[in-house]
Amino acid sequence: MAAAASPDDQVVTAAIAVIGNEILSGSVQDENIAYIARGLNEIGIQLREVRVVPDIHQEIADAVNVLRRRWDYVFTTGGIGPTHDDITAEAMGVAFDRKVDYHPEAYARLAAFYEQRGQEFTEGRKRMTLAPEGAELVNNDAMIAPGLKIENVFVLAGVPRIAHAMFEAAKPYLKRGSIVQSRGITTHLMEGDMAERLSAIQDKYPASDIGSYPFYNTPRGNGVKLIVRATDKVLIEEIGDEIRTMIGSLSGEVIEDDRSW
């Protein structure tokens, strides 16, 4: 099922390219995808694809080139620090076929920052000011080093606290679409007992997206969370009520009913 859509919807889409050997090796658990996904939702942008790629220039460039042509916005996370494995700015140069050099404004700011702190402005720290020609700086509250905007691509840090701040700083640049709202209805019924009835409800409401997420052996036992997503709250209310009736008709009980608005 595609993301819920009505004919009048303003559909704005995005993708994330996670740049990170540390995610692919399992050393680090990603904490940015869900944060960015939820933040995009809140402003009516639909995350449609994520790719996790290794720290290799051409792999990063290839992924970003596919994603930036396919979706309205791309966010990269990771690889913008001072060390040898921080190659995202250079990889963006490959992707956009542009020269990469120290960005004058970022360079001047970081030079002043380290001078004021009495720390050396090392070659590594200078690397944090690398940017493809024509990139805009996206300044943020968490770090003196900026994120980058190159056309529809936003280059963010990998460290979650900084990635999140850089994403917030990128938001003002984004056009907003119709917001997809959600309602989550949880029951102890089993998926297999209601699958046909649920399918009939989904068929009746093509402008919504109904997801079914079972859980097992949790503190509340076994059950299913049904999530209805659509841009039209009235429609979600109607579908949700129909799901509640369906659950009741199977002698089930609704144990939670959460609305996102």
Residues in 192-251 at the binding interface with a copy of itself, rule: CB under 8 A: 192-196, 198-199, 202-203, 209-217, 227, 229
The only residue of 29, 118, 141, 234 in contact with a copy of itself, by rule CB under 8 A: 29
The yes or no reply on residue 125 touching a copy of itself (CB under 8 A) is yes
Q: Cβ 175 to a copy of itself, closest distance in Å?
A: 19
State the DSSP string of 214-250.
EEEEETTEEEEEEEEEES-HHHHHHHHHHHHHHHHHT
Contact 181, 9 (CB under 8 A): no
The yes or no reply on residue 159 touching a copy of itself (CB under 8 A) is yes
Where does residue 244 fall: left (phi above 0), alpha (psi -120 to 50 degrees), or beta otherwise?
alpha
Strands 45-53, 100-102: pairing is unpaired
Q: Which of 109, 89, 107, 111 is nearest to 98 (CA)?
A: 89
Of residues 227 and 254, the one with the C-beta less far from a copy of itself: 227
List the interface residues with a copy of itself, window 39-98 (CB under 8 A): 40-41, 46-56, 59, 81-86
Amino acid at 54: P
Q: Who's near 216: CB < 8 A, 6+ residues apart? A: 222
Q: Cβ 212 to a copy of itself, closest distance in Å?
A: 4
Of residues 173 and 215, the one with the C-beta less far from a copy of itself: 215
Of residues 134 and 214, the one with the C-beta less far from a copy of itself: 214
Contact 160, 168 (CB under 8 A): no
Element (H, E) at 10: none
Number of residues near a copy of itself (by CB under 8 A): 75
Of residues 40 and 148, the one with the C-beta less far from a copy of itself: 40
What's the token pair of residue 251? 């002698």
List the interface residues with a copy of itself, window 129-158 (CB under 8 A): none
End-to-end Cα distance, the chain: 23
Of residues 136 and 142, the one with the C-beta less far from a copy of itself: 142
The only residue of 28, 111, 207, 255 in contact with a copy of itself, by rule CB under 8 A: 28
The only residue of 109, 152, 179, 184 in contact with a copy of itself, by rule CB under 8 A: 184
Of residues 33 and 136, the one with the C-beta less far from a copy of itself: 33
Q: Who's near 224: CB < 8 A, 6+ residues apart? A: 186, 187, 189, 190, 191, 194, 212, 213, 214, 215
Stretch of 100-108, 125-133, 164-172, 242-250 contacting a copy of itself, by CB under 8 A = 125-133
The yes or no reply on residue 37 touching a copy of itself (CB under 8 A) is yes
96 three-class SS: helix
Stretch of 98-106, 171-179, 191-199, 237-245 contacting a copy of itself, by CB under 8 A = 191-199
